[in-house]
Amino acid sequence: GRVVGVLTERDVLKRVVDEGRNPDKTLVKEVMSKPPITINPDADLEDAIELMFKHKIKKLPVVENGKLVGLVTFTDLVRAQPALIRAIKRFMEVYEVPKSLSKVVKYYVV
Protein backbone atom coordinates (compact mmCIF):
# COMPACT_ATOMS: atom_id res chain seq x y z
CA GLY A 1 0.00 0.00 0.00
CA ARG A 2 2.58 2.75 -0.38
CA VAL A 3 2.34 5.32 -3.15
CA VAL A 4 5.06 4.78 -5.78
CA GLY A 5 3.68 6.96 -8.56
CA VAL A 6 0.68 8.72 -10.02
CA LEU A 7 -0.94 8.04 -13.38
CA THR A 8 -2.79 11.01 -14.86
CA GLU A 9 -4.55 11.75 -18.10
CA ARG A 10 -1.54 13.87 -19.05
CA ASP A 11 0.80 10.88 -18.47
CA VAL A 12 -1.32 8.70 -20.75
CA LEU A 13 -1.48 11.35 -23.48
CA LYS A 14 2.26 12.14 -23.36
CA ARG A 15 3.71 8.70 -22.75
CA VAL A 16 1.25 6.41 -24.48
CA VAL A 17 -0.65 8.28 -27.19
CA ASP A 18 2.09 10.72 -28.28
CA GLU A 19 4.74 7.98 -28.25
CA GLY A 20 2.51 5.55 -30.14
CA ARG A 21 2.63 2.86 -27.44
CA ASN A 22 0.18 -0.01 -27.43
CA PRO A 23 -2.01 0.47 -24.31
CA ASP A 24 -2.56 -3.30 -24.08
CA LYS A 25 1.18 -3.87 -23.68
CA THR A 26 2.11 -0.79 -21.64
CA LEU A 27 2.45 -1.18 -17.88
CA VAL A 28 1.35 1.56 -15.51
CA LYS A 29 4.84 1.69 -13.96
CA GLU A 30 6.29 2.51 -17.40
CA VAL A 31 4.25 5.68 -17.86
CA MET A 32 3.30 6.95 -14.40
CA SER A 33 4.85 10.07 -12.89
CA LYS A 34 7.38 9.17 -10.23
CA PRO A 35 8.35 9.85 -7.59
CA PRO A 36 4.90 11.13 -6.63
CA ILE A 37 4.48 14.58 -5.15
CA THR A 38 2.48 13.99 -1.95
CA ILE A 39 1.28 15.88 1.08
CA ASN A 40 0.64 14.94 4.71
CA PRO A 41 -2.93 15.24 6.03
CA ASP A 42 -1.71 17.66 8.71
CA ALA A 43 -0.42 20.18 6.13
CA ASP A 44 -2.47 23.30 5.59
CA LEU A 45 -4.41 23.96 2.40
CA GLU A 46 -2.11 26.78 1.33
CA ASP A 47 0.80 24.30 1.33
CA ALA A 48 -1.24 21.99 -0.91
CA ILE A 49 -1.96 24.80 -3.36
CA GLU A 50 1.69 25.85 -3.43
CA LEU A 51 2.81 22.27 -4.18
CA MET A 52 0.28 22.08 -7.01
CA PHE A 53 1.49 25.32 -8.56
CA LYS A 54 5.17 24.56 -8.01
CA HIS A 55 4.95 21.12 -9.62
CA LYS A 56 2.21 21.98 -12.16
CA ILE A 57 -0.13 19.26 -10.96
CA LYS A 58 -3.88 19.22 -10.36
CA LYS A 59 -4.06 16.17 -8.10
CA LEU A 60 -2.14 15.66 -4.88
CA PRO A 61 -2.10 12.31 -3.05
CA VAL A 62 -2.45 12.63 0.72
CA VAL A 63 -0.07 10.19 2.41
CA GLU A 64 0.27 9.30 6.08
CA ASN A 65 2.87 6.83 7.35
CA GLY A 66 3.62 5.83 3.76
CA LYS A 67 -0.01 4.95 2.96
CA LEU A 68 -2.46 6.74 0.70
CA VAL A 69 -5.27 8.21 2.81
CA GLY A 70 -6.82 10.63 0.33
CA LEU A 71 -6.51 12.75 -2.77
CA VAL A 72 -6.78 16.53 -2.99
CA THR A 73 -7.65 18.06 -6.35
CA PHE A 74 -7.16 21.65 -7.33
CA THR A 75 -10.79 21.90 -8.41
CA ASP A 76 -11.97 20.64 -5.02
CA LEU A 77 -9.83 23.21 -3.20
CA VAL A 78 -11.03 26.10 -5.33
CA ARG A 79 -14.67 25.07 -5.20
CA ALA A 80 -14.74 24.36 -1.47
CA GLN A 81 -12.44 27.07 -0.15
CA PRO A 82 -13.21 30.55 -1.50
CA ALA A 83 -10.98 31.95 1.25
CA LEU A 84 -7.98 30.50 -0.59
CA ILE A 85 -8.45 32.82 -3.57
CA ARG A 86 -5.78 35.26 -2.35
CA ALA A 87 -3.24 32.45 -2.00
CA ILE A 88 -4.12 31.10 -5.43
CA LYS A 89 -3.69 34.51 -7.05
CA ARG A 90 -0.38 35.00 -5.23
CA PHE A 91 0.98 31.65 -6.43
CA MET A 92 -0.19 32.40 -9.98
CA GLU A 93 2.11 35.43 -9.92
CA VAL A 94 5.08 33.35 -8.73
CA TYR A 95 4.72 30.11 -10.70
CA GLU A 96 4.12 29.47 -14.38
CA VAL A 97 0.59 28.14 -14.66
CA PRO A 98 -0.29 25.37 -17.16
CA LYS A 99 -3.32 26.10 -19.38
CA SER A 100 -5.43 23.40 -17.76
CA LEU A 101 -4.83 24.83 -14.28
CA SER A 102 -5.42 28.35 -15.54
CA LYS A 103 -8.82 27.31 -16.93
CA VAL A 104 -9.88 25.96 -13.55
CA VAL A 105 -8.72 29.13 -11.81
CA LYS A 106 -10.53 31.39 -14.27
CA TYR A 107 -13.72 29.37 -14.00
CA TYR A 108 -13.85 29.33 -10.20
CA VAL A 109 -11.72 32.26 -9.08
CA VAL A 110 -11.53 35.12 -11.53
pLDDT digits (tens, 9 = 90+) for 89-105: 777 777 777 777 767 76
Please tell me whether the overall predicted TM-score, pTM, comes out greater than 0.85 for this model. no
What tens digit of pLDDT does each residue of 34-81 get?
999 999 999 998 899 889 989 989 899 999 999 999 999 988 887 767
Q: What CA–CA distances, in Å, run from 20 to 14, 25, 31, 83?
A: 9, 11, 12, 43
- Residue ranges and CATH numbers for the domains of the chain are 1-36 (no CATH), 37-108 (3.10.580.10)
Higher pLDDT, residue 83 or 61: 61
Average pLDDT taken over every residue of the chain: 86
